[in-house]
Chains A and B, each alone.
Chain A
Amino acid sequence: MTAPLPSLAEASRAIAAGSLSPVALTEQALARIAALDPSLNAFILVTADRARAAAAAAEAEIKAGRRRGPLHGIPYALKDIYDVAGLRTSCHSRQCLDHVADADAETTRRLEAAGMVLLGKLSTHEFARGGPTDVLPFPNAKNPWDPARFAGGSSSGSGAAVAAGLVAMAMGSDTGGSIRLPAGYCGVVGLKPTYGLVSRRGIFPLSFTLDYAGPLTRSVEDCAMAVQALAGHDPGDPGSADEPIPDYLAALGAGISGLTIGRARAYDIESGVDAETMDALDAACDVLRGLGATVVDVALPSRLRGDAVTQGILLAEAFAIHQDWLRERPHLYGRVTRERLTMGAFVSGAEYVQAQRLRRVITAEVDAVLHGCDAILCAGTTGGAPLLSDVDEGPFRRQHPVTALFNATGHPAIVMPCGFAATGMPLSLSLVAPSFAEARLFRIADAYERATPWNKARPPLPI
């Protein structure tokens, strides 16, 4: 009754076959949350009554022959910056304890329309910007692999909940790596889609032009299933793209023979990726070669330029969003959040414009790399999850995330497990594809996942 939840794909197939009941699956999820979450703190809010009602409704619809699709009747959870009509969107902050959403985020609406069952709201770094030890109105999520270590952020609850088998899918947001870092540190799959593919409407913003919404899941197939429901034009999101949505599941299992993977080794070295991760990435390249791909070295824009662009934009845009509260009620922020948001006061208008201009240059450089290969392979994180006591919680990180470059360039990037560190913590790789080529990304990631054991490993939890 408290076993880890099946994957989205497993649950979907079982529900379709009539061997799994949405009600039973939801009760399993609620029981597991009750048993494990008091020590994991992945959830800020568990919407048990709502979930039971939604599961019962889904079960009745399915029994009546009105199954909406592959996600119908399967539980999920949302990072608590996503709006759900009638529920509080706290952003994990004292600033928003009284904020109740009056409408669903577009992503919430799509998942509800697909028949998914909302289990609740998940822990996040405050406003997707603070740190893991800030003193906040709710506790911070723990890494299920080792509670003394960083779960990653800012979608920390999303990574922890999926890794612990509390949910099969959780939504996160990613401004510099906030989906991909918790995915990497918690040993699950996380996708930052192409800019504009998934609506951001109804998600509390951190940076208008660097924010992305995306899923964290146990497998690549699950990720593709989730994106199939999430992707599509939203006229209510000014950044939303009006592009055709392909069948993301169609190419899974097709293999990668004949594809070319660009290995961004120099970028990883410049990013300070540790030796264990570099070895794991080399081994991943061997696996991809064994599957018929060609691996070539590629050069990405320098970290120096990428960090100047991403930080110049992020600091300025986040400051524009938070300036009034920073002036009028700064005491309601945690210390780390307040200081990191205040950094935007130091970015001039000219620097912001130059950052947006240089962004065009580095985006063209990554586009050029992707003209010569089908996808780029680089590190998802620079190593396994660090001890919480070693996490940099200063106002301005000494080292910015290895993932942030692709927030600036807009390209889709998936992070997935690729081994383990000596500490027992998951290691991760990242694959990056041309804009709107998520289907290709899933195809390559799925082939790697099928050929390796990493996504089958589970954290050492008591149940």
Chain B
Amino acid sequence: MPEVDPETEFDICLARAGITLPPERRPAMFEAFLAWRSLRAPLSEPLPPATEPAFGVRQKDPAR
């Protein structure tokens, strides 16, 4: 799958969220977006099944 260029991804994310930026703050926000893109790399590391985030739906026996 081709890599989306950062500026396109930036605009799509904001549009999808319904967020508008003051034009004068766009450069600073884009720089921050690039910093997040750089930081998120470890989230691509392979993870074992036991890391599934099931804690939110863990059930309790109502009788206990």
Question: B-contacting residues of A (Cβ < 8 Å)?
Answer: 304-305, 307-309, 311-312, 315, 319, 323, 326-327, 330, 335, 339, 342-343, 345-347, 351, 353-361, 394-396, 398
Contact = CB atoms under 8 A, between A and B. Distances in A.
Nearest to B45: A358
Given A312-B40, A312-B43, A326-B19, 14 more contacts: A305-B42, A308-B39, A323-B18, A330-B20, A339-B25, A339-B28, A346-B10, A346-B13, A358-B42, A360-B53, A394-B32, A395-B28, A396-B32, A396-B35
B44 A327 contact: no
Interface string B1-39: 000000000100110111111000100110111011101
Contacts of B42: 304-305, 308-309, 358
Contacts of A395: 28-29, 32
B63 interface: no
A413 B41 CA distance: 27
25 contacts: A305-B42, A307-B39, A308-B39, A308-B42, A308-B43, A309-B42, A311-B36, A312-B40, A330-B19, A330-B20, A342-B14, A343-B32, A343-B36, A345-B19, A346-B13, A351-B43, A353-B53, A354-B44, A354-B47, A357-B47, A359-B53, A360-B51, A360-B53, A395-B28, A396-B36
Interface residues of B, number: 30
Contacts of B16: 345
Contacts of A323: 17-18
Contacts of A394: 28, 31-32
B52 interface: yes
B51 A358 contact: yes
Contacts of A305: 42, 45
Q: Across chains A and B, which 7 residue pairs bring their CB atoms closest together, nearest first?
A: A396-B32, A395-B32, A357-B51, A345-B17, A356-B53, A354-B43, A308-B42
Given A327-B18, A339-B29, A345-B17, A311 B39 contact: yes
A308 B29 CA distance: 18
Contacts of B51: 357-358, 360-361
B43 A358 contact: yes
A311 B17 CA distance: 18
A347 B41 CA distance: 12
A339 B39 CA distance: 18
A394 B10 CA distance: 17
A304 B41 CA distance: 9
Contacts of A353: 53
A160 to B, nearest CB: 28
A361 B47 contact: yes
Contacts of B35: 396, 398
Nearest to A319: B17
A394 B20 CA distance: 18
A342 B16 CA distance: 12
Nearest to B47: A357
Contacts of A359: 53
B39 A358 contact: no
B53 A308 contact: no
A427 B53 CA distance: 37
Contacts of B45: 305, 358
Given A339-B28, A346-B36, A357-B52, A327 B19 contact: yes
Contact of A345 (B13, B41, B43, B50): B13
Contact of B36 (A315, A326, A361): A315
A305 B40 CA distance: 9
A323 B14 CA distance: 11
B53 to A, nearest CB: 4
A395 B19 CA distance: 15
B47 A342 contact: no
Contacts of B33: 343, 346, 396
B21 A342 contact: yes
A335 B41 CA distance: 28
Contacts of B14: 342, 345
Contacts of B28: 339, 394-395
A347 B14 CA distance: 11
A359 B55 CA distance: 12
Contacts of B50: 360
A319 B20 CA distance: 14
A343 B29 CA distance: 8
A330 B28 CA distance: 17
A323 B17 CA distance: 8
Contacts of A347: 36, 40
A357 B53 contact: yes
A55 to B, nearest CB: 43
A414 B40 CA distance: 28
Nearest to A361: B51
B29 A342 contact: yes
Contacts of B32: 339, 343, 394-396
